[in-house]
Each structure stands twice: as C-alpha cells, then as structure tokens.
Amino acid sequence: MDKPVSEEQIESILRAAMASPSAGNMQPWEFLVIRDRDILDKVPELHQYAKMTLETPIAIVVCCDTSKKVREGFWIQDCSAASQNILLAAHALGLGAVWCGIYPNEGRTKAFQDLLEMPSDVFPINIIPIGYPAEEKEPSDRYNEEKIHINKW
C-alpha cells in the first residue's frame, strides 16, 4: 500500500484491457478505477474474498453498461477477456492483481452498484485489486492432460 501504482501503469493496464477481443467489436466494457482509500476499505464488507483491497493502492472494477448496444450473452465473455488482459498487463509490469468476481451474485452486484453510485443498467463484473506483491510466488502448474480432447470428446 505504501508504493503507489503510477498513472502510466494504470493507463498501460487499461490499454491492454481495451485491446481485448470483443464479439462484433461491440466493446461493452467500462472500467472504474478506485483509488479512494475509504472505498477500498469498504470493499471487504461487500466481498469476503477481496480483503486485499485493504492493502492495495488501487482496484479496477470491470463493468458492462447494458444500456448501450451489447450482444446478448456475449458481454460477459467480452468483459472477461478484458479482465484477463488486466491481470496479464499488471503481471508484466511487476504488479500483483487478483480477479474477484461480483456478477452474477445479485446481492454483491447491487451492493457494489450502491457503493460506487452506478446506474442500475451498469453491471460490475469483477473487482481487480492491484498493487505490489508482498512476496514472489511461483505460479502453480495446473496443466492436466485429462482435460484435453482431440477432434472429438
């Protein structure tokens, strides 16, 4: 929390998010960058798995504004691709980031809409706390040949 995430780093992360693939190139995503310490400190009250916001300098909420033209059923995929790009960009910059899902949990979605004063047709998909990792960890090896199918199931 002591070391801030720079404006340049945030822009780089958001540029990567917006470079994501999107069904029909509709780009339904919106991004809410939270820097306000009071808001970050309230997040764990709404999301039990997002306690790291107590220690991170920023978080990005990936949202979809459904009042705009969106491809039904594909906006979740579009916003998920943008979220993955955020995680990869943060890692490439030497930052730590974690995806904490919000949507489709109705109670959590409404709580975040209220906290962040979002319109009712804007859905927070997830919140991604971003900061500097306290320790370096080797990524776990999740490769599993049993999950691979060639040509047919």
Kindly state whether residue 152 falls inside one of the protein's structural domains. Answer: no
Kindly state whether residue 28 falls inside one of the protein's structural domains. Answer: yes
Q: Which H or E run includes 101?
A: strand 100-101
The rounded distance, in Å, linking the Cα atoms of 63 and 53 is 18
Quick check: 79 and 125 in contact, CB under 8 A?
Answer: yes
The rounded distance, in Å, linking the Cα atoms of 70 and 25 is 10
Phi-psi group of 37: left, alpha or beta (phi > 0 → left; psi -120 to 50 → alpha; rest → beta): alpha
Kindly give the residue spans of alpha helices, DSSP state H, lying in 62-105: 75-92
The rounded distance, in Å, linking the Cα atoms of 89 and 68 is 27
At residue 119's C-alpha, the angle toward residues 53 and 27, to 5°, is 80
Average pLDDT per 10 consecutive residues for the chain, totaling 153 residues: 89 98 94 98 98 97 89 91 98 96 97 97 97 86 96 96
State residue 141 phi and psi, 5-degree precision. -90, 105
* Res 1: pLDDT: 53
* Res 100: pLDDT: 98
pTM of the predicted protein model = 0.94
State residue 146 phi and psi, 5-degree precision. -65, -15
Kindly state whether residue 153 falls inside one of the protein's structural domains. Answer: no
Q: What's the domain count of the chain?
A: 1
Kindly state whether residue 110 falls inside one of the protein's structural domains. Answer: yes
Quick check: 60 and 128 in contact, CB under 8 A?
Answer: yes
Kindly state whether residue 82 falls inside one of the protein's structural domains. Answer: yes
Q: What is the CATH number of the domain that holds 52?
A: 3.40.109.10
* Res 95: pLDDT: 96
* Res 137: pLDDT: 79
